[in-house]
Amino acid sequence: MLVRIGTSKITIKTMFILVVGLLYYGYSMHYVEAENSHFSKVVKIESGFLSGVTEPDSKATVFKGIPYAAPPVGYLRWRPPQAPAPWKGVRKADEFGPICPQFPPPKGSFYQLEYYPEEEKQSEDCLYLNVWTPAETSDEKRPVMVWIHGGGFVQGQGSLPSFNGSELAKKGIVVVTINYRLGVFGYLAHSELSREADSNTSGNYALLDQICALKWVQNNIEAFGGDPDNVTLAGQSAGSFNIQYLMLSDLAKGLFNKAILESGGMGANYRFPKELSVSEQSGVQYASMHGVKSIEELRRMPAEDLLGNMADYLKMGFAPIVDGKIISNEMIQHFAEGNKDTIPLLIGFNANEATSLVPDHFSLNDFKKEGEYRYGNKANRFFELYPCETDEQSLQAKIDSTTDSYAAAAYYLARLNEKNYKKTYLYCFNRKLPGRNSAYYGAFHSSEIEYIFQTLKSTERPWENVDQELSDVMSSYWVNFVKTGNPNGKKLPFWGHYDKQQELFMALGPHPEMQKMAEDDKLNYFIDVIEEKLDEYK
């Protein structure tokens, strides 16, 4: 049903008809003409009525700042997310919600210039999501993509300009982006928190938030014309790692049926979940650093005080943990052996992942210490593969080894998924972005995002026609995978699924094409490292 009311002639009778219509049609969509020739689309979800905004030249309507859980503040700090409070009337969904407290990238830094044009409002009251939909009615059953942002588990938000879902929605899918708890708010474990929880565990609040958001999608996405039975979970970097852990968890089972993992396979850059006991000790240490001994005292501290000093904060290494509830050793082992239920995957890495990740002051001493710490009895082989004798050589060795670890993790996961005969589509993004020292940075970590969302305009670069064309191809691949589990479509270069015998991947560059993985001792080394580390979870 379509209802349009002229803004200059709204009568009491007309308003009464509108309200009755909304109540009668429940989850159906309605349009109300608003100022500046925009249209406000009204939908009913579990918590109440929402109005989103459709731009005149767009086929998509966006609903911003929808609460999917209660504010995790005060008593609810470091507790599982709770249901949001319902509201009366029609809630305007025309502004993004606050983001989790965090240290934003320094002004003028590489990532600040690339992705964070403006600082957004921060608050612990951050559990909001955003929906872009092309649907005109609530019964269209559009495929859904839920995006989990990256940021090293301590930064990021679902409202970055590069994550604008309008262009993907124009291609026929519903796009959902979310905020979730980060850093100390999302991953703090502490023995006292474990004792007070029904599950006898702590940490992983960020994963619980993501599960809560996925349940919200199951219960509400039909109101936006989405299909709860066709949900793809997609993410990059830390978002990709989080998704991989959700793939292991029984708590997330049935909430999504496909996954897109960008630059974040388990083991990439030596990322593995920590044990609960280790994380609990870190939590006690963190409390001590802030001069307190109890969780009650920590809960009373203002959010900005909990962040404290950035250098000390980042050293804590907040990240998902093996808590025995959301993630268990048994789940990881089943996964590593190829016995865990798998789903269709689209997974890949960038050709120059580490150019934007490694600090330019990485010394020979730093490289030696890190190699010995990370690789233990395999360190000698590591130094043979990445020889260096000067600080300059060590910087390049660090960049190369980190990039190779991301590639190896993607290949390893593709091989695991093949064991269960689930089709996996593997890619390497290799387009060197124009501008800002392109020769050095190349296809850096995160650089594929603007292409996938078709949001090149969100970043100030001298984009070329080839970038626009590649963005259209990549976004079409992603949309097709969200729709069917297969990225292929008309007028697109054929993308074959990964096969261990052929080991082909899609090279996403100026001329997308299938290429064969070359025999590489370095990739095989990191795959061995991943397998050895996963054996420790037995």
Fold of 12-535: Rossmann fold (3.40.50)
Span 281-295, pLDDT tens digits: 999 999 999 999 899
Span 92-114, pLDDT tens digits: 999 999 999 999 999 999 999 99
194, 202, 237, 447: the active-site residue: 237
Residue 387 burial (CB < 10 Å; 0-12/13-18/19+)?
exposed
At 297, the amino acid letter reads E
Q: Report helix, strand or coil for 63.
A: strand
Q: Which residue has the tokens 């250098």?
A: 311
Q: Report helix, strand or coil for 412.
A: helix
* Best CA proximity match to 411, nearest among 337, 480, 499: 499
Cβ proximity of 433 and 470 under 8 Å: no
Q: At what angle do helices 329-336 and 521-535 cross, to 10 degrees?
A: 140
The conformation of residue 5, written as its DSSP 8-state character, comes to -
167, 192, 353, 450: the active-site residue: 353
Beta bridge partners of 245: none
CA 302/CA 136 separation, integer angstroms: 44
Residue 439 burial (CB < 10 Å; 0-12/13-18/19+)?
exposed
At 281, the amino acid letter reads Q
Cβ proximity of 283 and 188 under 8 Å: yes
Burial 498-519 (b: 16+ CB within 10 A, else e): beeeebbbbbbbeebeeeebee
Give the other-Cβ count within 10 Å of 65's Cβ.
18
Span 211-238, pLDDT tens digits: 999 999 999 999 999 999 999 999 999 9
* Best CA proximity match to 102, nearest among 84, 85, 83, 122: 122
Q: Mean pLDDT score of the chain, rounded to an integer? A: 90
149, 190, 445, 497: the active-site residue: 445
Annotation marks residue 237 as catalytic? yes
The conformation of residue 355, written as its DSSP 8-state character, comes to G
CA dihedral 471, 475, 477, 478 (to 10 degrees): 140
Q: Which residue has the tokens 């026929």?
A: 172
Q: pTM for the full model?
A: 0.92
pLDDT for 30 equals: 54
Split the chain (538 residues) into runs of 10 and give each run's mean pLDDT. 35 44 45 48 95 82 97 96 97 97 93 92 97 94 98 96 96 98 97 94 97 98 98 98 94 96 91 92 93 93 92 91 93 80 92 94 92 94 96 95 96 85 91 95 98 96 98 98 97 94 93 91 94 88
Cβ proximity of 239 and 148 under 8 Å: yes
Strands (E), 303-384: 321-322, 345-350
Give the other-Cβ count within 10 Å of 350's Cβ.
27
* Best CA proximity match to 54, nearest among 110, 135, 113: 135
Cβ proximity of 419 and 498 under 8 Å: no
Beta bridge partners of 353: none
